Structure 1
Amino acid sequence: MINAANDFNYQWNFPNCVGSIDGKHIAIKCPPKAGSMFFNYKGYHSIVLLTVADAKYKFSYIDVWAYGSEGDAGVFSSSKLGKAMANESLPFPPNAKIHDKRLPFFFVGDDAFPLGKRLIKPYVPKRNQMLEPDKTIFNYRVSRARRCVENAFGILCSRWYCLARTMFCSPDRAQKIVAACCYLHNFLTSLNPRVYCPTRYADYIDSSGNLIEGEWRNNIPANSLFSSTINPTQGRPTDIGKTTRDSLKEFVNSPEGSVPRQKKK
C-alpha cells in the first residue's frame, strides 16, 4: 500500500491515498424467475461492479456480485472490501505525517460511499448554500485523485464494448465476463501501455496545471449503459473520518500542499 500511496502523491498530489473506489452497473438480461432482484434504480436489470483503481489506472480490487436492486450502502458494506474496512483487517501502513499531523491511509470515493477513517469523500454543501473556498479547493483535489477510477472504468469500457451493452447470458456468466475484462485490462495496461492506453488516452495535467480530459471518452459507445454509477448513500460519517478530511483540507490549502491553479477551479 505504501507504493500505491506514493504513486497517488506523485501523480495526483494527494498524500496517504491508496486507491480510488467506485461502482458501476453492468446491464444484463433479466434471468427467469428473478423478479425485481436485478432491477436497479436506473430502470434496467444489472449486476454491480465495485472496484478500486490505483494511480496508474489498474484495478487493485474488483467485486462483481451484487444484485442491481441492492441498496448502494448494502453493496459496499456487504462486499469483502467493506467488511475488511469495517473491522480494520486490511494491512494499512501506520499513520504518516502530513503537514503537522499524523493521518491514516485511506481510499477516496464519491458521495455514494460513507465518510470514515479509511474512506475520504468530498464535502457536500448545505441546502441553498455554497461551499467555503477552502472546501471547494479540497473537493477539486479529491476529484483529481478520484479520476483514477473514472479513467480506469473509461479505458475498460472503451476497449471492451461488451460492458457497454446488455449481456444476454446468465448472471454467473456475466460476472465471469466482467472479471475477465478487468484482468485483461490490468494485463494489457502493464504489458503494452503505449498501445492499450497511449499518451493522452487518459486524463492528464498539462504544463499550465490544467486537467485535460482523456481521449477514451471519444471511444465509448453511444448510449453506453456502463456510464451509470451507483446511487448516493446516506451513511453516517464517523468522527475520525471528519477529522481526517478537515486535516487534509488544511494541508491542500497550505503553501506546502497546494498545486498550481487550484484557486481558479
Structure 2
Amino acid sequence: MEEDLLIGIAFIFCLKKKKKRSYWMRQTLKARGKYSATDYLKDLGIDGCLKDFIRMNSSEFEYLQNLIGAKIGKRDTTFRKSVSVTERLAVTLRFLATGSSYKSLGNVFKLSDQVISIIVPEVCEALNEVLKEYIQIPTTPQEWLHVANSFEEKWNFPNCLGSIDGKHVAIQKPIDSGSEYYNYKGFYSVVLLAIVDAEYNFLYVNIGCQGRISDGGVFANTKFRNKINDNSLKIPSDSSLPGRNKPVPYVFVTDDAFPLEKHLLKPFPGPQDSNSKERIFSYRLSRARRTVENAFGILSARFRVLRTTILLDPEKTATLIMTCVLLHNFIRKTESSMIYAPSQYYDGDDIVTGTRIDGQWRLEQQQLTPLEACESLTDDGKEIRKEFAEYFSNEGFLDWASKYY
C-alpha cells in the first residue's frame, strides 16, 4: 500500500515537472549571427540608403555610437552573445524614423519584440543624456539678442525671441488613467510644447502634460512661464522698434492657443479688411511663426513614430519625444542637415506672385494636433500689439509682401 502511494506521488511530481525548453532561441532569430545589423548598415551605406533608414549618415551614426556605447553596451555570457551597441542604436533610430511595430523591426534585425521593447527606452534615455546640451535656453541678454537679430534678419520681425506652439501627440490610453489624458479632439495624448528660433532649432520643450488640461493651462504650468513672471529669464530691456521712439518689450510670437500678454504676441482675432493694419500685422506675425510650424512638421515627417499612436506609458513616451527633438537639433547642426531636411521641406515666399510656397512636409498627412484656442488678453498685450501693427504698416512695411495683405 505504501509502495503504491510512493509511486503515485512520484508520478504526480513528474507531471508537475517543468517541460524542458526545446531551444534557447527561435530558429528565425538565429540568422542574426550569420548576417548582423552591422553588415546590413554597411550595405545600406554603400547603396546610399542609410540616410533614409536612420535619418543620418554613417559618420553621425558612429559618433552617437561612441557617445552612448559605454551606457548601453552589454557583456557576452557563456550562454549567448549580447546584442551589440550598433544593433541597439540602429533598431532604436529605425523605430523613431518609421514608428514600425516591435515585431516588424524584429523581422529586420532578427531580434525578439520583447528584447526590442527593452532596448528602445534604454537607448532613448542614453541619447537624452548625451545630447541634452543641444537644447539650451539663452541665459544672458546677449544670447537672447542674438536670437532676436536672427528673427529680424530672416523674418523681418524685430524684438522677437522665439516662436511658441504646442501639439498633442497621440498615445494609447494609460492603465487606470480615466479621462486624464483625453483631449478636446477625442483621443488620448500628451502635449509637446516648444519654443523655436529663426533657424528651426528647438530652444525649449516641455513634454508630457496630460491631454485633458486646457491649453492655456499647459503653458501656465511650465517652468518657462514662471521664469517670465518672476523676471528670471534674462530677457533684454524694452527697446523701440526700428525708426520708432516708443520702447516695447521683446516678445514670443504665438497663435490663438496662448494668451496675449506683455511678452506673448498673437494675431488679431477674426477676419480683417485687406491692407488694414490688423491684416498686415497678422500676416507678418504668422510669417515669423512659421518657424515653429515647420519645425514640428519636419520633426513628424522625419521621425514618423510621432504620427502613430504611441503604445508606451506617458513617462516613456515623454522620453521618446525628447529623443526625437534632440536628434532634430543634433542633425540640424551636422553635415546631414540637408539630407535630413532639404530646403524644399520648409515653407517659402514667392515674391513675384505673392503666394506662400508650401514646404514638402505640408503635403504629407500630419498626426500632431494643435492646441485649443485661448481668449485671454491683457491691456499691456493689446498696447504692445498695437505698436507692432503701427510699425509694420509704416516704418517696417514690406513692399514685396503687400500682395499678401
Pairwise TM-score range, normalised by the shorter structure: over 0.9
Instruction: State whether structure 2 residue 164 is matched by structure 1 residue 21.
Output: yes
* Counterpart in the other structure of 1:56: 199
Within-5 A mapping of 1:47-196:
47-98=190-241, 99-125=244-270, 130-131=272-273, 133-191=276-334, 192-196=336-340
Q: Which runs of 5+ in 1 are unaligned?
A: none
In the aligned structure 2, how far is the partner of 1:260 from the partner of 1:216? 28
Give CA deviations for 1:145-181 in whole Å, capped at 9, x if unaligned.
1100000000000000000110001110000000000
Decide whether the 8 Å contact of 1:204 with 1:212 is kept in 2: yes
Decide whether the 8 Å contact of 2:147 with 2:161 is kept in 1: yes
Give CA deviations for 1:6-53 in whole Å, capped at 9, x if unaligned.
111111100000100000001000111000000001010000000001
Instruction: State whether structure 2 residue 343 is matched by structure 1 residue 202.
Output: no
Give CA deviations for 1:77-131 in whole Å, capped at 9, x if unaligned.
0011122222222111111221222111110000110001100000113xxx745
Shift of 1:213: 1.5
Give CA deviations for 1:210-258 in whole Å, capped at 9, x if unaligned.
432111223x3x4x431x10101132x222211111100000001x301
Give the strand-richer structure, 1 or 2.
1
Decide whether the 8 Å contact of 2:268 with 2:278 is kept in 1: yes
In the aligned structure 2, how far is the partner of 1:93 from the partner of 1:32? 45
* Counterpart in the other structure of 2:402: 263
In the aligned structure 2, how far is the partner of 1:195 from the partner of 1:6? 27
In the aligned structure 1, how far is the partner of 2:305 from the partner of 2:246? 46
TM-score normalised to structure 1 length: 0.92
Decide whether the 8 Å contact of 2:165 with 2:255 is kept in 1: yes
Give the helix-richer structure, 1 or 2.
2
In the aligned structure 2, how far is the partner of 1:96 from the partner of 1:19? 16
Q: What secondary structure does 1:211 align onto?
A: strand
In the aligned structure 1, how far is the partner of 2:343 from the partner of 2:190? 32
* Counterpart in the other structure of 1:214: 359
How high is the sequence identity, in percent, across the aligned residues? 40
RMSD of Structure 2 on Structure 1 (CA): 1.5
Aligned length in residues? 256
Shift of 1:261: 3.7
Q: What secondary structure does 1:200 align onto?
A: helix
Q: Which runs of 5+ in 2 are unaligned?
A: 1-143
Q: What secondary structure does 2:157 align onto?
A: coil
Q: What secondary structure does 1:178 align onto?
A: helix
* RCO comparison, higher one (Cα < 8 Å, 6+): 1
Instruction: State whether structure 2 residue 388 is matched by structure 1 residue 248.
Output: yes
TM-score normalised to structure 2 length: 0.61
In the aligned structure 2, how far is the partner of 1:231 from the partner of 1:85? 22
Decide whether the 8 Å contact of 2:351 with 2:401 is kept in 1: no
Give CA deviations for 1:182-221 in whole Å, capped at 9, x if unaligned.
0000111111322122122101234536432111223x3x
Letter paired with 1:120: L
In the aligned structure 2, how far is the partner of 1:138 from the partner of 1:259? 11
